[in-house]
Structure 1
Amino acid sequence: MAVWAVCNQKGGVAKTTTVVSLASLLAQKGEPVLMLDLDPHGSLTTYLGYDPDSIETSIYTLFQQLDNTPKEAILKSLKKTRHDNIFLLPASTAMATLDRQLGAQQGKGLVIRKTLSFFKDRFKHVLIDCPPMLGVLMINALAACDKLIIPVQTEFLSLKGLEHMLHTVSMINHSRRSALPYFIVPTMHDGRTKAAIDCLAELHKRYGDNVWQSFVPVDIGFREASKLGLPLPEMSPDSAGTRAYKQLLNMLNEPEVNVSNG
């Protein structure tokens, strides 16, 4: 089971869009895909037709019993979506209180890893949509994943958020058995502007082989797709955005994809 976390300590860089798009492309191949929404804002949950303000069983449920979350609770939290082969462990807004509730309890960083062990024979791919802040939820995502995807909008304010994210990865690597491979994905790139072109060049200059050689362009289809609750690859298979995510997925699925662990 491949577990990919999509994470950045800056909001608005297309994390949810990346999760939804990659999941849709995998599902179109006939592969059941599991998505986890670890962001208390619940953008992914809302996108897929659930209300994070009123949902009864969610990822929050799994954190209420850190040591002995029953299998029944885990399975009850799993939601079907209206999209073939796409399943969701949804967010609830109550997740925003977890850091305060859990305090210094032991084992709080491995809840998601333990949860995913129940699904290892059911799903080939798992995609995790992470919150933009460092806390128990992000730590769980980074502890559970085997590959980290970092979307970065090609504008210079995003570079600072990327620095914070890579500092977090460095800290997490001290507690992992092996360093976490990460892959920087330029998003929302407008090649008509010098600022975006310069930012893309700066990403490659600073981070070299960790940066995907292509980019996800600005595409108004993403906005229309989210309004309809549809992944762009489902709504518009031939759009520029869909083509970009197809290229990204092909790269991620290569057996020896060139992803450094820093």
Structure 2
Amino acid sequence: MQIWTVVNQKGGVGKTTTAVSLAGSLNAQGYSVLLIDLDPHASLSYYYNVEENSTPSLYDYFLADQNIDVMRLVKNTKQAKCAIIPACGAMATLDRQLGQADGKGLVVKNCLNELKGKYDFAIVDCPPVLGVLMVNGLMACNKIVIPTQTEHLAIRGLKKMLQTIELLGPMMIEKPKVTIVATMFDRRLNACQAAYKSLRQEFRSSLWQGYVPTDTKFREASQRGISIGQLGESSRGSFAYEKLTNDLMRA
């Protein structure tokens, strides 16, 4: 099972949209996908209309020293071959409750190890806050996807994110490949053009050689609880994520 973690220490950059779109693109190719929502805001869970207060929850799994059958955490979505482990608001208290407890950075990794063979891919949607949940997402994956909005402040957040990954590097058994994805790009805006140029200059080795454009179809897909590629019509956004998915699979 390949595990892709979608993460950035800045909010509003398209993390959940990226997780949903990658899952939809993989589903379209016949792959089974498990989504893991690590953000206490539970945007990914809400997107798929999955009850965030179901029990047992991932929160319970963290506190119970993982002595819970992992399959009890998994909920089906309306999409074929797409399941989710939802988040809940109580997960926001995990940093305070767990403190410096040993081994809590590997909870999600251990959870996914128990699910090997059941899904082709797992996609982890991380919170924008550095803490035990983000660390779990980073420690569990084979590949890290960093959506970065094409605007000046987002580039500052990207630098912080890369510093965090470098800090965790010595603790990672397998060093994940990092792919930066420029999102919300509007070629009509000079600010977007300038930000994209800065991304290419500063992060060329890790920057995906494409971008995700602004597209009203993302809003329509969100209202229907499906990925943009599942709308059944061609669009700039669906084409971008289809290409990104294929490039990540080859990387």
TM tier relative to shorter chain: over 0.9
- The equivalent of 1:169 in structure 2 is 165
1:236 shift after superposition:
4.1
- The equivalent of 2:67 in structure 1 is 69
Specify whether residues 31 and 179 from structure 1 end up closer, same or farther in structure 2 by C-alpha distance, changes over 3 A only: closer
Query: 1:3 and 1:82 mapped to 2: Cα distance?
Result: 22
1:161 shift after superposition:
0.5
- The equivalent of 2:189 in structure 1 is 193
Query: 1:236 and 1:38 mapped to 2: Cα distance?
Result: 29
**Matched-pair contact (CA < 8 Å) for 1:221–1:236:** no
**Matched-pair contact (CA < 8 Å) for 2:213–2:237:** yes
Specify whether residues 156 and 236 from structure 1 end up closer, same or farther in structure 2 by C-alpha distance, changes over 3 A only: farther
Deviations 1:43-67 (A, max 9, x none): 0000011232x3323211210222x
- The equivalent of 1:242 in structure 2 is 238
- The equivalent of 1:88 in structure 2 is 84
Query: 2:51 and 2:10 mapped to 1: Cα distance?
Result: 23
TM-score (norm 2): 0.97
**In the alignment, is residue 55 of structure 1 matched against residue 39 of structure 2?**
no
**In the alignment, is residue 131 of structure 1 matched against residue 130 of structure 2?**
no
Moved over 3 A (4+): none
Matching of residues 95-106 of structure 1 within 5 Å: 95-106=91-102
Deviations 1:198-256 (A, max 9, x none): 110100100112001110000011112112212111114411100000110111111xx
**In the alignment, is residue 119 of structure 1 matched against residue 115 of structure 2?**
yes
State the Cα RMSD in Å.
1.1
Percent identity over paired residues: 41
**Matched-pair contact (CA < 8 Å) for 2:3–2:141:** yes
Q: Provide the aligned length of Structure 1 versus Structure 2.
A: 251
Deviations 1:70-113 (A, max 9, x none): 32xx1111000100110001001110000001011111101000
Please state which structure has a larger fraction of its residues in strand: 2
Query: 1:46 and 1:122 mapped to 2: Cα distance?
Result: 24
TM-score (norm 1): 0.93
Query: 1:90 and 1:174 mapped to 2: Cα distance?
Result: 29
